[in-house]
Amino acid sequence: MESTEKNKPPYLLLLLGILAVSTAAILIKLALPYASPIAIAFHRLAFSAAIAIGILLVTKRDQKLQIDRKQLGLLILSGILLAAHFATWTWSLDLVSVNSSVIFATTSPLWVGLLSPLVLREKVPKRFYVGVLFAFAGGLLIALLNQGDSGQSTLSGLLMALFSAWMIAGYLLVGRKVAAQISTELYVSYVYTIAAIVLGFVMLLIDKGYQAYQANVYLVLFLLALVPQTLGHTSLNKAMKYLPARTVSLALLFEPIGSSILAILFLNEIPSTVEIAGGILILFGLFFASSAKANEA
């Protein structure tokens, strides 16, 4: 009985984290009629950086906050990769449905696994590559058959989502090298701030200056930073302290399902038969690859 009680908090944190991150695509869709994809990505990171710095100042007042030059270089690279991820993923949501975009964007574990032998010198189990093949087949099914009203727009949106998965994979690989050396609060404060600065410059160039919005739009942008970014990722990070990383990574496969359900309820976006079939193949591939054990290599 006591063991069961101890197991409840981390799983509740995991559930809270998944529910929170699943709201991201919906909030972005709500903001897209009023703000450009780059502007949405910028405000998400700018608000997130402000929240992260506030938490850092409150929780780490007595700790050393300095970093060395090598760590700063890795943090800058992480910030650039994170900026590219959010910019392209937000852009993809302007072109394709929530279901297709989120499914493609959540393939990042596959790319982390494929690059791990080269970047981290980590062995990858053979069955991992079988999972990659299933996911690749599902991606091709959606890309080739689910053309919608504009085949070109659909393909561009899917490529944007896929590129965002590559960027977050790079972010995770770089972050793994430096995140273990400094606190999570300090890490996200630096990375979110750098990403916001990068996106701010890009926004000023693309949007030709800063565009002001109505209060309700700023509210959606703030919620995007507060719920999926701060609450969602914080809950997942805390769950990682009690649960194996494999458990958390597998739980993240429910994010596309949660996002699709919310899209049906709030946006009236009904997934097509092709999206459902391709999504099942991709999620199965992700599950099969992520559940492979290291000793199977």
The tens digit of pLDDT for each residue in 235-289 reads 877 776 677 656 676 777 788 888 988 999 999 998 888 888 988 988 888 888 7
- CA distances (Å), origin 140, targets 57, 119, 128, 148, 162: 47, 27, 19, 15, 12
Most confident of 74-78, 107-111, 255-259: 74-78
Contacts of 176 (CB under 8 A, 6+ apart): 120
> 3-state DSSP: the chain helix, strand, coil percent, rounded to 5?
80, 0, 20
Mean pLDDT computed over 154-175? 88
Determine contact, residues 267/29, Cβ cutoff 8 Å. Answer: yes
Residue 151 has pLDDT above 80, yes or no: no
What is the number of alpha carbons within 13 Å of residue 147 lying toward its C-beta? 6
CA-only gyration radius of the chain, Å? 19
DSSP state of 94: T
Q: What are the structure tokens assigned to 195, written together?
A: 């990403």
What is the number of alpha carbons within 13 Å of residue 251 lying toward its C-beta? 25
Helix (H) or strand (E) holding 161: helix 151-179
Determine contact, residues 142/92, Cβ cutoff 8 Å. Answer: no
d(CA 20, CA 6): 23
- pLDDT computed for residue 130 by the predictor: 85
Mean pLDDT computed over 141-165? 77
pTM, to two decimals: 0.86
b (16+ CB within 10 A) / e for 21-36: bbbbbbbbbbbbebbb
Contacts of 194 (CB under 8 A, 6+ apart): 75, 76, 78, 79, 80, 83
- pLDDT computed for residue 152 by the predictor: 56
66 phi-psi bin (left φ>0, alpha ψ -120 to 50, beta other): beta
pLDDT band at 5 (very low <50, low <70, confident <90, very high): very low
Determine contact, residues 203/45, Cβ cutoff 8 Å. Answer: no
Residue 39 has pLDDT above 70, yes or no: yes
- pLDDT computed for residue 294 by the predictor: 54
d(CA 287, CA 291): 6
Mean pLDDT computed over 102-118? 80
d(CA 85, CA 44): 12
Mean pLDDT computed over 78-84? 95
- pLDDT computed for residue 140 by the predictor: 83
How confident is the prediction for the chain on average, in pLDDT? Answer: 84
d(CA 234, CA 246): 17
Q: DSSP letters along 34-58, please? A: TS-HHHHHHHHHHHHHHHHHHHHHH
d(CA 181, CA 212): 39
d(CA 180, CA 25): 29
Among the listed residues 200, 166, 170, 194, the one whose alpha carbon sits nearest the alpha carbon of residue 72? 194
In the chain, how long is the greatest CA-to-CA distance? Answer: 61
How many other CB atoms are found less than 10 A from the CB of residue 251? 17
Q: What are the structure tokens assigned to 142, written together?
A: 């959606």
